[in-house]
Chain A
Amino acid sequence: MVRQFMSNPFREDLVSRSRPEACTVVIFGATGDLTHRKLIPALYNLAIDGELPPGVKIIGFARRGKSDEVFREGLKDLNREVSRNGHDEEIWNDFENTVEYHQSEFQDSDGYRRLADRLEAIDLERGGKGNRLFYIASAPEYFDDILEHLKAAGLNESKDGCWSRVIVEKPFGTDLPSAQHLNEVVNQTFEEKDTYRIDHYLGKETAQNIMVLRFANAIFEPLWNSKYIKQVQITCSEHLGMEGGRGGYYDKAGALRDMVQNHLLQLLSLVAMEPPTDLSADGVRDEKVKVIRSLRQWDTPELVAENVVRAQYSAGHVHGKSVVGYREEDRVDPESMTETYVALRCMVDTWRWSGVPFYIRMGKRLPKKATEISVHFRSAPNVLFNAIPGDKDEGNVLVIRIQPDEGISLRMVSKLPGTTLRLEPVKMDFHYSTSFGKASPEAYERLLLDAMAGDATLFARRDEVEEAWKFIDHIHRAWHQSDAEKEPDMAEFVAGSWGPEEADSLLEKDGNTWRRL
């Protein structure tokens, strides 16, 4: 990649990562929770770690009338609460001087012209370097307006060797047509190389470690195929329901579109991808998109009914407390047909994965919060120890825990101490928190730095997003088609349990069971 800036010899060997460049970060939706709880603390933590390039300016763009001082005060209050590195007054004072507030409606052309003037003044102050990073953290209905106005104001253009990039938050569309439309709008405004679709799961330490585990260790890759792997399970379980008014958004989205289309298919692609030719953004993303493209399409209601289970939770108990059913939740339609639980059987039709089912399940109001990937290896031949009557076949399972309690474990079979030959599964366990006392950076820290450095490896590319929507849309269409009689059933399960029986049956057909978390 040709660098547009002068080389800085002092950066060499200092950190093994692309170099972030000074820029102005403009956050649309600056009065929202994401800005206050995630983005500003992430930028502040980069500053306190000495990683934020000097000259970075932050402009909060939002509709409410506020002065710079009031805006900063609000950010400071929350930073004190949530910052990973604590709150250092001296560093904050310098940091907050880089933060300004820009009041404008998202549809107001004049607001963008004023923004352009403001950015130019900042560029002059910085010495003429006009890199811009636009972060669209507003509600999705404003995405089009913001992008079109940025273009009209000429803010999308890269001038004089500088760059102009955009980060777009999820949801990136609600189906394939809307994602394609959004991609069109984005790409009419910004080139694909300057577009960063954020999926914070990819910024998580454990998600990044999947590739390291697979490709930096010699022992796994030879076994990483259908000859040795029987099945893969990806589970994202949440104990929360619709607290804090989340029902309004969730009832429109549902588990499939809220989590599976993005986060969980991204995890699946990291597990199933071929080794990339290099670690460049496109090298990695080329391989990931091949996986999504290779997913067998469940494109008829019958196939969806056979391979996908949707469900809602009914009243039950979670963590010892009584909770209401989904349809009784605040801001949820009492006749809602939105799934809070989904289990899928995916088939990756490649040479490597032929015949290996990838099961994905995601649910609200399950017994505990956990996201993990488990790779289940085939059993050893039924001779010698495995031929002993009464001993259960316990294959090896490699578990990658994404959150919480990040780590990796490997289940294997061992002899029970004693004079008789009894076998039991044992677990080798690696916990990040035990081995590395230092807290990992927040996903947003890594991702913001990468965007400033022009490294899109951990961001979703247009074709990845669209291929994922294509797969998801077939399922969604089957669920909500006009002929209600053909619609696959909506199952039900008691809140606090591990999901509906139908989800268990989905695996039993293949002779498998869900891993107990």
Chain B
Amino acid sequence: MVSDNAMSLGIKVPVEKIERELRQLWEVDDARTNASLINLAVYSEAKGALATNSDMIREITREHSCRALLIGLDKNIEETSVRAWITAHCHLAHGQKSVCCEQIAFHLTGHSTGRFRNTIFAHLQSDLPLIFWWQGNLSDMFSESLYRRIDRLVIDSSGWDDVIVQFTRINEAIRQVNLVVQDLAWTRTYHFRLAIASLYDDLIAAESLKNVSKVKIITNPKHFASGLQLLAWFAEMSGWKRTQDLISDQEDSGSYRFCTREGNIVDAELTLEENSAPIGKIEVISGGVTVCVSREAGGKHLHHQLICDEHVIDIHGPADGDSSAELLADQLSRGGKNSLFKKILPTFFGMLEL
């Protein structure tokens, strides 16, 4: 069932008349500007997701003009049906002009992958890229005929039940169609990576990089994938190779062993803490030099620290957003083909033992 909040989805319209109804929506008020740079499809199989996602799209369209297609699928109802609603999200752009983005919401029941695909592809704006945000676990609706037509697939591996199973499917899709994948779990690490990069601009920190002996990462259990991706990035950029891992006897931590270009061994530990921020800390120890970036649970800033005897950097910087809407907006702002993420994937998959 669509939630009681279906009002926020706008006007209910017959599926075959969606485009006509949208045109009429614009004819009502010609003082508004209809804008879109992308087709943004948001797919969810969770109950009540359509209304929640509509609210989220309202936020995203403040910065990113798009045609939004919300798709909610209820596979528990056997009878196949499609219902559709249209609305527009309007914002005052730079305090001057009312800029609006169209939204079409579909509620589908029953199980038919072909109907699902056609529903989406029939309502795309031509020539604009299709960004497809798949929420939750990948189901059997995630098929090659779908992802072959997607320009960018957005996922959030933080919400997955089984990271290994899910990434196996992603890996397969990448190999099959060279799919461009953007994981919001990776976006969540952006300011941590920026902070680490900034701290290693320091000459003492840069010099210490060849003597790293230990890396410690703390994450919230839900954000295990973010922590592992952060570690994979650090190792990949440092030019380290995986070697025989240590055996951890603790359930809430993972240990990984790397070999540096100089032949030194680095032990990395990923600890899961219930009360941690999504990513709580990354600490890199090399002899007398410690580089640390941390965030308190609920904190809005990152704490950047470099400690080497009396040489200390201790400042605060911005933290990544926590909500999916903020992360997606950040990701869309950066654009591109996400080549860095692609680069770290082999190391990341290796640590997942895919």
Chain A residues within 8 Å of B, Cβ to Cβ: 5-14, 16, 19, 21-22, 47-50, 53-55, 88, 90-91, 93-94, 125-129, 431, 433-439
Contact of A14 among B96, B194, B318 (CB under 8 A): B194
Q: Is B75 an interface residue (CB 8 A)?
A: no
B93 touches A433 (CB 8 A): yes
A129 touches B315 (CB 8 A): no
Instruction: Return 24 A-B CB contacts under 8 Å, by A number.
Output: A6-B207, A8-B200, A9-B209, A14-B193, A16-B336, A22-B201, A48-B318, A50-B195, A54-B198, A54-B199, A90-B316, A91-B301, A127-B311, A129-B203, A431-B33, A433-B94, A434-B35, A434-B97, A435-B37, A437-B63, A437-B64, A437-B99, A438-B63, A438-B333
A253 CA to B97 CA, complexed, in Å: 37
Interchain nearest-CB distance for A181 vs B (Å): 38
Number of interface residues of B (CB under 8 A): 49
Interface set, chain B 26-67, CB cutoff 8 A to A: 33, 35, 37, 61-65
Which residues on B sit within 8 Å (CB–CB) of A6? 203, 206-207
B150 at the interface (CB under 8 A from A): no
| Any A CB within 8 A of the CB of B343 | yes
Q: Does B352 contact A (CB under 8 A)?
A: no
A90-B204 in contact (CB<8A): no
Decide: B65 and A50 in contact? CB cutoff 8 A. Answer: no
Closest 6 CB pairs of A and B: A437-B63, A10-B197, A13-B340, A6-B206, A9-B237, A94-B315
Asked if B188 is at the interface (CB within 8 A of a chain A CB), the reply is: no
Task: Knowing A50-B191, A50-B317, A50-B318 are in contact, say whether A434-B202 is a contact too (CB < 8 A).
Answer: no
Interface centre among A6, A10, A88 (most CB of B within 10 A): A10
Within the complex, the shortest CB–CB distance from B239 to chain A, in Å, comes to 7
Q: Is B243 an interface residue (CB 8 A)?
A: no
Residue of A nearest to B311 (CB): A127
- Report chain A residues within 8 Å CB of B99: 433-434, 437
| B248 sits at the interface (CB 8 A) | no
Q: Is the CB of A10 within 8 A of B316?
A: no
Interface presence of B313 (CB below 8 A): yes
A313 to B39, CA, bound (A): 50
Q: Mark B281-315, 1 if CB is under 8 A from A, else 0.
A: 00000000000000000001100101000010101
Give the number of residue pairs across the A-B interface with Cβ within 8 Å: 111
- Alpha-carbon distance between A7 and B202 when the two chains are bound, in angstroms: 11
Specify the chain B residue showing the minimal Cβ separation from A7: B206
Are A55 and B202 in contact, with the CB atoms below 8 A?
A: yes
In the complex, the answer to whether A54 meets B304 with C-beta atoms within 8 Å is yes
Nearest chain B residue, comparing its CB with the CB of A92: B316
Interchain CB contact under 8 A, A54 and B197: no
Task: Give B179-203 as 1s and 0s: 1 = Cβ < 8 Å from A's Cβ atoms.
Answer: 0000000000001011111111111
Q: Tell whether, in the assembled complex, residue B313 and residue A433 are in contact, meaning their CB atoms are under 8 Å apart.
A: no
Measured CA separation A438–B93 after assembly (Å): 9
Q: Which of A8, A434, A437 contacts B197 (CB 8 A)?
A: A8
Complex alpha-carbon distance, A435 and B33, angstroms: 10
Closest to B96 in A: A433
Question: Which residue on chain B has the smallest CB distance to residue A9?
Answer: B237
Structural contact, B340 and A21, CB atoms closer than 8 A = no
Does any Cβ of A come within 8 Å of B238's Cβ?
Answer: yes
Query: What 1/0 mask marks residues of chain B from 94 to 136 whose CB sits below 8 Å from any chain A CB?
Result: 1011010000000000000000000000000000000000000
B152 an interface residue at 8 Å Cβ cutoff? no
User: For B339, what are the chain A residues with a Cβ–Cβ distance below 8 Å?
Assistant: 13
| Min CB–CB distance A446 → chain B (angstroms) | 16
Q: How far is the CA of A7 from the CA of B200 in the complex (A)?
A: 9
Given contacts A9-B239, A54-B199, contact A91 B93 (CB under 8 A): no
